[in-house]
A and B are shown apart, each in its own frame.
Chain A
Amino acid sequence: MGPGVIGLWRHELRLFLRQPMALPLLLLVVLLSAGSVWAGLAEVAHQREVIARIQPQQAADVAAVAASAAADGDPGNAAYYTHHVTWDPPSDLAFIALGQRDVAPFVLRVRALALEGQINESETYNAELALPGRFDWAFVLTYLAPLFAIALLHDLVASEREAGRLALLGAMARSRRGLWARRALLRSGLLFAALTLPLIVGGLIANSGWALLGVIGLAAAYLAFWTLACLAAAWLRLGSVSAAAALAAVWLIVTLVLPGLALVAINAAIPVRQGVELTLAQREAVHGGWDKPKPATMAAFFRAEPAWRNTAPVRGGFHWKWYYAFQHLGDLSVAEPVRAYRAGLERRDALTRQVGYVLPPVGLQLALHRLARTDLQAQLAYQDRIRAYHAQLRRFYYGYLFTDRPFQAADFARAPRWPEPPPQP
C-alpha cells in the first residue's frame, strides 16, 4: 500500500523539521511577524486614541474661545481664535503598513486663515522616522522574508548533491521534479504560514475583513518570486555556498540598491519644491498684504469671491474683512506652486509604480500601502478634504464678516464640522 499524497508530505515535513535550524528559523519568523503586527496594531490604536481624545479637548477649546475672544460678538475674533479639528482615521488594514502616516499628520487643526501654510507646516512631523521607516509587517515581508526564504531554500538541491544523496534520491523518487517541487512548496509554505498566521490574528483583532485576503495574496506572490529565484539557483547547479552568496546579492540589489537608485533617479528627473518653501512663499504673500493698498487687495479678493462684492466697503485702519481677504489671497498666490508641487508628487508616485512593475519589493510596498490606505494618494486625499472643509469654514465666517452680523456664542455650534465621525479607540 502506498503512502498517499498526505503521507509523502508528512515524511517531507518530518525530514525538514528534523533539520537543526529549521524550527528556530520558523519560530524567529513567527516572532518577527507577530512583533511587527503588534507594533502596527499599537500604533493604529494610538492614532485612534489621539483622534478620540482630541474631541472633548476641541469642545473645551471652542467653549473657551466663545467665553473670551468672541465675547464681543466680532466674527473676526471668532474666526481668528477658533481652531477646527480635522482627522484622518487609520483604515482597518493600516496596521500592516503604516506608510505615510508616520511622516504626515493624521490630525490637523485649521483656522480660517491662509491654509497652505497650515497644511505644509506639518510636513516635518516625525521626520526622524522618514528614513528608516517603521517596523511594520510590510517591512518584515518586503525586506526580511526574502532572507528567510533564501536561508530555507538556497540549498534545496545543492545540499543533497553535497551530501551525496542526489543519485539515491533521483533513483528512488517517482518524479524528480515532483520531489523538488514538493520540498520547495513545503519550505516556502511553512515560511508563508509563519509570516501570515500573526497577520491573520492581527486582521481579526483589527476587524480587517476580506481586504486581508488581498494582503495574503500579495505575500504569496512575493514569496513565490523568491522561491523561484532559489529554484533558479538550483537549476544553475550552484553549490550551497555559491547559491547563498548569489541569492544574497540578488536580495541586496533588488530590495535595496535598485530601489535606492530608482528613487534618486526619479527625484532627479522630477524636481519638487519642499512643502516648507510653499509655506514661506505663502507667508511672504500674506505678510506683504499688510503693505498693499486695501482697495487693491479687496478688488483682488472679490474677483476670487464675487459673492461678497456688493457688501459694505472697507474703510479706515484695520478691518477683519481686509485681513481675511489678504489671508485668502496668500493662498491664491501659491495656488500654482501648490498645484505643481502636488503634480510633481503624483508624477513621482506614478513613476515609482512603473518601477514597481519591474522590482517586486517596490511593487509590493506600493500595493500594501494602497490596500492599507497609507500611501501618498491617501495623504493627498486627506489634504483635499481639508481644503474643501476649509472653504466651508471661510464662507461660514465670511457670512458674518461681510454682512457685519455679530457672532454670538450660539454661532460656534453652527460652524461646519469635519464630516467624518471619529474612530472608536
Chain B
Amino acid sequence: MISESSSPAVIALSGLTLRRGTRTVLADLTLQVAAGEIYALLGGNGAGKSTTLSVLLGFLRPDGGTVTVAGTDPVTAPDAARRQIAFLPESVALYDQLSAYENIAYFMALTGHEPTRGAMDGALDAAGLQAEARTRRVGGYSKGMRQKVAIAMAVLRDVPVLLLDEPTSGLDPRATADFNALLGRLKARGTAILMVTHDLLGAADCADRIGFLAEGRIVDEVRPADGIDVLALHHRYGEAAAA
C-alpha cells in the first residue's frame, strides 16, 4: 500500500516513533520523498502531520526510527539539516515593521545568504506579489500577501527540500492555483516537496503521491496520476481521518 519513489529519496523517514507522555504521536512512520516529487500528507487534527515536519526540522527528537534530509540526520545535526530545508509555516508571521524586501533580506541573512534586489524581485514575481507592495511595511499585508513573501523566501533558498504546512489555507482559489503552479516549477527544478494539508483538491491537483496519516502512521496512499476521482479520495480521507 505504501509505495516508494523510484528515484533516490531526499526525505526519508523509517520506522519513526515519537511519544509524548503516554500518547504515541508517531508510530512506525515510514515515508520517502524523491527529488522532483511532491508528497501530500493528509490527516485529521492530531494525526501527526505537523509533528512529522517538526522532526524533519530537528525541532523534536524522535524516540525511535531514522530520519534523513538530503543525507543529513536532523536528530544529530539539526542545523546542518535545516540548511537543506525551506519551510513554509501554516501562518506566516513576518516582521511588521519591515518591508517585504527587508523581511526577505533579514531571513535570508539568517540562512547565510544575501540576495540581490533583482533576485528578490524574481522570487517575488514567481510568488505573485505585486511590485508596488514590496517596499511597504508588511504590517498592512493580507495573509495571502505574507504567504507570498514566505514563498519567495523558499524560492530564493534554492535548497533540495521544501516543507509546507497547510500552504494554501487562507488563499483564494486564484492564489491557490498560482501557488500550485509555482510548486510545479520548484518540482521541475528537482526540489523534494513534502506538504501537510487538509486541502484535498489542492493535494490532488499538485501532488504526485498523497499519504493518509492516522494515529501517527500512514494508513493509505494514492497516486492522483492513477486517475482516482476526488469523491473517492474524499471518502478515503474521511475514513483515514476517522481511523
Q: Is residue A179 contacting chain B, with contact meaning CB distance below 8 A?
A: yes
Bound CA–CA A72/B17 (angstroms): 108
B93/A18 in contact, CB under 8 A: no
Interface string of B55-73 (1 = CB under 8 A from A): 0010100000000000000
Q: Which residues of chain A are near B89, meaning CB under 8 Å? A: 164, 167-168, 171
In chain A, positions 12-34 with a C-beta closer than 8 Å to chain B are: 14-15, 18-20
Bound CA–CA A206/B221 (angstroms): 78
B57/A168 in contact, CB under 8 A: no
B109/A175 in contact, CB under 8 A: no
Q: In the complex, what's the smallest C-beta–C-beta distance from B49 to chain A, in angstroms?
A: 14
In chain B, positions 180-234 with a C-beta closer than 8 Å to chain A are: none
A7/B98 in contact, CB under 8 A: no
Bound CA–CA A323/B153 (angstroms): 94
Bound CA–CA A20/B97 (angstroms): 9
Which among A11, A14, A15, A175 is the interface contact of B79 at CB below 8 angstroms? A175
In chain B, positions 108-128 with a C-beta closer than 8 Å to chain A are: 108-114
Bound CA–CA A172/B81 (angstroms): 11
In chain A, positions 137-189 with a C-beta closer than 8 Å to chain B are: 163-165, 167-176, 179
Q: Which residues of chain A are near B153, meaning CB under 8 Å? A: 172
Q: In the complex, what's the smallest C-beta–C-beta distance from A162 to chain B, in angstroms?
A: 10
Q: In the complex, what's the smallest C-beta–C-beta distance from B34 to chain A, in angstroms?
A: 22
Q: Is residue B141 contacting chain A, with contact meaning CB distance below 8 A?
A: no
A172/B79 in contact, CB under 8 A: no
With A18-B97, A174-B79: A11-B85 Cβ-Cβ less than 8 Å: no
A164/B113 in contact, CB under 8 A: no
Q: A171-B89, A173-B110 are in contact. List 11 more A-B contacts (CB 8 A).
A: A3-B109, A3-B114, A19-B97, A20-B97, A163-B93, A167-B59, A170-B57, A172-B87, A172-B108, A173-B111, A174-B83
Binding site for A on B (CB under 8 A): 57, 59, 79, 82-83, 85, 87, 89, 91-95, 97-98, 102, 105-114, 150, 153, 163
A171/B82 in contact, CB under 8 A: yes
Interface contact tally, CB-CB below 8 A: 77
A172/B107 in contact, CB under 8 A: yes
B107/A168 in contact, CB under 8 A: yes
Closest 6 CB pairs of A and B: A164-B93, A171-B87, A18-B97, A3-B114, A3-B109, A165-B93
Bound CA–CA A11/B163 (angstroms): 25
Binding site for B on A (CB under 8 A): 1-4, 7-8, 11, 14-15, 18-20, 163-165, 167-176, 179
Bound CA–CA A40/B198 (angstroms): 66
With A167-B87, A168-B150: A174-B110 Cβ-Cβ less than 8 Å: yes
A15/B91 in contact, CB under 8 A: no
A172/B102 in contact, CB under 8 A: no
Q: In the complex, what's the smallest C-beta–C-beta distance from B192 to chain A, in angstroms?
A: 16
Q: Could you pull out 5 A-B pairs where Cβ atoms are within 8 angstroms?
A: A3-B114, A11-B106, A18-B95, A170-B57, A173-B111
B102/A169 in contact, CB under 8 A: no
Q: In the complex, what's the smallest C-beta–C-beta distance from A155 to chain B, in angstroms?
A: 14
Q: Which residues of chain B are near A163, meaning CB under 8 Å? A: 93
Q: Which residues of chain A are near B82, meaning CB under 8 Å? A: 170-174
Q: Which residues of chain A are near B95, meaning CB under 8 Å? A: 15, 18, 165
Bound CA–CA A157/B85 (angstroms): 22
Q: Which residues of chain B are near A14, meaning CB under 8 Å? A: 98, 102, 106
With A11-B105, A15-B106: A172-B97 Cβ-Cβ less than 8 Å: no
Bound CA–CA A171/B88 (angstroms): 9
B94/A165 in contact, CB under 8 A: yes
Q: Which residues of chain A are near B150, meaning CB under 8 Å? A: 168
B109/A11 in contact, CB under 8 A: yes
Bound CA–CA A11/B102 (angstroms): 9
Bound CA–CA A33/B19 (angstroms): 53
Which among B93, B98, B112 is the interface contact of A3 at CB below 8 angstroms? B112
